[in-house]
Amino acid sequence: MLRRDRTVVVAGLAAVTLVAWAYLFSVARSMDAADGMGAMDMAPEMAMPQMQRWGAVELLLLFVMWAVMMVAMMVPSVAPLVLMFARANREKGGSRVVGSAGILLLGYLLMWAGFSVLATLAQWGLHSAALLSPMMVSTSSVLGGLLLMAAGVFQFTPLKRACLVRCRSPLSFLMLHWREGQRGTFIMGLKHGAYCVGCCWMLMTLLFVAGVMNLLWVAAIAVFVLVEKVAPRGDLIGRFAGGTLIVAAIALIVR
């Protein structure tokens, strides 16, 4: 049963991740096609000229893009927690183990959906201030440098360390925050998602530097988040990356 649970959960996580990445590739390809033609993209939120006002539909579609992007980037890093939860739930004699794992993941992703709302509003503000190009890349080296600097400094803050400790130890998290029942499982997902957002939110702002839909940049951040959470001494890797970001910020602003 443990092997079956693990197989089903891994397959589910992989399917969710692949579908999310497929959506991002589709959007990125349509954006590239529109850029090559010098025309407006088929997706309304990406088709707006730089100074045109966005409406509710454009903001909704932009939110969907951010939410799906967070799924693509963050599901791999939460996989160890979901698998450990499924195993612990089975060993405790729980029923509907796979369904409970899905509820945990849903709570986790709901917190990232909340972050996506804030990211959408931030992009709206940058767009309105003409600080983003129609391809969603920062048009200001100062803005890019400040975002790099903020992300680098954040890697050394107590908030980052506190959240990362909880993200790097799924067993400790389950022991400290275990709750019975579907409602309890959902709350566990929310709590872990909150720690994860607290750990990684500044890194996500770097998407405004190289392009929100620059998939190489998206993939690089996703891999870094995974390494920081699961690799031995991932915390040191994170601090080294923070120093690198600070140096890059200074170089960009000076240039």
Greatest mean pLDDT among 51-55, 86-90, 183-187, 211-215 lies in: 183-187
Taking residues 52-62, report their average pLDDT: 82
- Taking the C-alpha atoms of residue 138 and residue 183, their distance in angstroms, rounded to an integer, is 41
C-alpha to C-alpha distance for 227 and 241, rounded to whole angstroms: 11
Per domain, the residue ranges of the chain are 2-254
* Identity of the residue numbered 192: H
Q: What's the pLDDT band for 47 if we cut at 50, 70, 90?
A: very low
- Percentage, residues of the chain above pLDDT 70: 91
What is the per-residue pLDDT for 46? 42
Cα–Cα distance measured from residue 100 to residue 89, given in angstroms and rounded to the nearest whole number = 8
Per-residue pLDDT reduced to its tens digit, 209-226: 988 889 999 999 999 999
pTM attached to this predicted model: 0.88
Per the CB < 8 A criterion, the answer to whether 144 and 138 are in contact is: yes
pLDDT in tens, 186-199: 999 999 999 999 99
The pLDDT score that the predictor gives to residue 41 is 44
Backbone angles phi, psi at 182, to 5 degrees: -65, -40
